[in-house]
């Protein structure tokens, strides 16, 4: 019986991890470090075979991601045909417009002094994705809308590769295929085809978790720091950095590990400093959210959705989907914890769910579970094949249903 992931010896050098046997689904075992002098060092430095193998292995998550996007694109095309509208209009919906408005003309200067829809402003959205869209626009000459779609596809592709290598590092090749498939065919994964932040968040956090596992403290801190500029939920990346630093200091006296948690809030800190300079308040994002979207009592998102379903049945898609997501999250968390993944994964995933529970309106949603991707990745990696195949099929059907609702109905908000 393989040891739990939390007890697998850390392999600091990624080359060693790649050389270990990952195809069996067992955690990879350490091998002797490559030579640092002589002909062995020369072969290692060149590493044409290693680079080729990394590329070939990365084709596996790329194929998974492309397959999931083709399915979503077919749904978007069907919705566009049914509504007699351009395909792009099916993909640029809901929050996509807010991100594109920032990329096009920057942030608003203030939050309107009212509440509800009239108070909504792009100050309620984080800057990383609009910045990437703007860069794509300047480099390619594409319109802002098309640049948004190209950017989100590209970062989603990187996210798939990042998740695959992260899962492989613990569970092996085949398990990485299953885990990555379950993440990118999960019900909330349709947003990876919209101009949304999930692709950037997952890519950066997955690489940060991988860097933490290999004790690359500076890289982990910088990756997490950039992630916290992508999405408020991505600030959960600070938690695994703190956990890894605590473990490194307690077990090895490795004080350099503090680089990771110290750098992790860099993105959100920079954003709030910018808002302070630009609007006069470092808390303007909070003001925008409270005025435009997140009014009401904290911790009301989950019970509020449940009460709506109890009172009105399935009449309101948002409440129904949130309630079902909360129900599904319970066995998912149980399976996740029983698999004993690395403590950094646990800290990140549970913090993500905690943000949903804290929210006045969000609760547990398919998008939130997608951002807590280790939950899905570990389930895919650890389930027996018949259970995995059944879950993957059901998940893909739910993805299709939610995509139709989000792209074709005003009654469901992703």
pLDDT of the residue at 50: 84
H helical segments located in 185-313 = 198-213, 217-227, 238-252, 259-263, 266-279, 284-292, 301-312
Residue 148 confidence (pLDDT) above 90:
yes
Average pLDDT over residues 219-229: 98
pLDDT (tens digit per residue) in 234-267: 999 999 999 999 999 999 999 999 999 999 999 9
User: Is the Cβ–Cβ distance between 278 and 271 less than 8 Å?
Assistant: no
* Integer angstrom CA distances of residue 405 from 7, 11, 188, 362: 43, 45, 12, 17
Residue 42 confidence (pLDDT) above 80:
no
Closest CA to 244 of 260, 230, 224: 260
Q: Tell which wins on pLDDT, 26 or 203.
A: 203
pTM comes to: 0.89
Q: Given pLDDT bands bounded at 50, 70 and 90, which one contains residue 393?
A: very high
Tokens of 92: 């640029």
User: Is the Cβ–Cβ distance between 181 and 223 less than 8 Å?
Assistant: no
Tokens of 373: 């991707």
Angle at 43 between CA 37 and CA 47, to 5 degrees: 130
Average pLDDT over residues 17-39: 41
Residue 226 confidence (pLDDT) above 80:
yes
Mean pLDDT of the chain: 89
Q: Given pLDDT bands bounded at 50, 70 and 90, which one contains residue 48?
A: low
Question: Whose structure tokens read 């998974």?
Answer: 64
pLDDT of the residue at 409: 82
Q: Tell which wins on pLDDT, 312 or 47.
A: 312
Angle at which helices 217-227 and 238-252 cross, to 10°: 160
The maximal CA–CA distance of the chain, rounded, in angstroms, is 74
Average pLDDT over residues 298-307: 94
- Helix (H, G, I), strand (E, B), or coil: what is residue 97? helix
pLDDT of the residue at 47: 60
Residue 108 confidence (pLDDT) above 60:
yes
pLDDT (tens digit per residue) in 117-144: 888 999 999 999 999 999 999 999 999 9
Q: How many helices (H) and strands (E) does the chain have?
A: 20, 0
Residue 182 confidence (pLDDT) above 90:
yes
Residue 3 confidence (pLDDT) above 60:
no
Q: How many other C-beta atoms are found inside a 10 Å radius of the C-beta of residue 256?
A: 12
Sequence-separated (6 or more) residues with CB below 8 Å from residue 338: none
Average pLDDT over residues 31-46: 40
Question: Whose structure tokens read 């950066």?
Answer: 204
Closest CA to 54 of 150, 138, 173: 173
pLDDT of the residue at 411: 82
- Lowest mean pLDDT of 46-60, 190-204, 314-328, 352-366, name the range: 46-60
User: Is the Cβ–Cβ distance between 9 and 29 less than 8 Å?
Assistant: yes
As a whole number of Å, the CA-based R_g of the chain is 21
């Amino acid at each position: 019986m393989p040891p739990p992931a939390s007890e697998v010896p850390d392999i600091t050098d990624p080359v060693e991890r790649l050389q270990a046997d990952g195809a069996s689904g067992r955690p990879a075992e350490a091998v002797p470090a490559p030579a640092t002098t002589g002909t062995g060092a020369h072969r290692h430095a060149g590493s044409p075979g290693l680079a080729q193998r990394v590329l070939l292995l990365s084709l596996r998550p790329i194929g998974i991601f492309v397959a999931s996007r083709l399915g979503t694109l077919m749904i978007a095309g069907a919705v566009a045909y049914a509504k007699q509208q351009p395909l792009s209009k099916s993909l640029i919906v809901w929050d996509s417009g807010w991100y594109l408005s920032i990329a096009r003309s920057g942030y608003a200067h203030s939050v309107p002094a009212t509440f509800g829809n009239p108070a909504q402003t792009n100050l309620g959205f984080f800057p990383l994705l609009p910045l990437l869209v703007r860069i794509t626009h300047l480099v390619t000459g594409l319109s802002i809308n098309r640049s948004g779609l190209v950017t989100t596809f590209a970062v989603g592709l990187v996210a798939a590769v990042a998740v695959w290598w992260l899962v492989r590092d613990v569970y092996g090749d085949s398990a990485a295929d299953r885990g990555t498939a379950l993440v990118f065919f999960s019900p909330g994964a349709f947003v990876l085809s919209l101009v949304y932040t999930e692709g950037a968040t997952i890519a950066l956090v997955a690489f940060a978790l991988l860097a933490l596992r290999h004790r690359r403290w500076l890289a982990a801190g910088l990756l997490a720091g950039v992630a916290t500029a992508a999405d408020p939920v991505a600030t959960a990346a600070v938690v695994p950095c703190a956990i890894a630093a605590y473990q490194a200091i307690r077990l090895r006296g490795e004080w350099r590990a503090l680089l990771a948690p110290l750098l992790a809030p860099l993105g959100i800190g920079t954003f709030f400093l910018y808002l302070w300079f630009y609007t006069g308040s470092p808390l303007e994002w909070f003001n925008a959210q409270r005025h435009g979207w997140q009014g009401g009592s904290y911790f009301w998102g989950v019970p509020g959705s449940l009460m709506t379903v109890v009172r009105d049945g399935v009449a309101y898609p948002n409440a129904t989907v949130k309630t079902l997501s909360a129900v599904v999250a319970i066995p998912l968390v149980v399976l996740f914890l029983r698999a004993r993944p690395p403590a950094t994964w646990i800290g990140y995933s549970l913090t993500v769910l905690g943000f949903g529970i804290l929210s006045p309106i969000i609760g547990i949603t398919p998008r939130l579970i997608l951002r807590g991707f280790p939950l899905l990745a570990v389930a895919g990696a650890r389930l027996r094949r018949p259970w995995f195949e059944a879950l993957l099929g059901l998940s893909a059907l739910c993805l299709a249903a939610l995509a139709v609702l989000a792209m074709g109905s005003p009654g469901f908000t992703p």
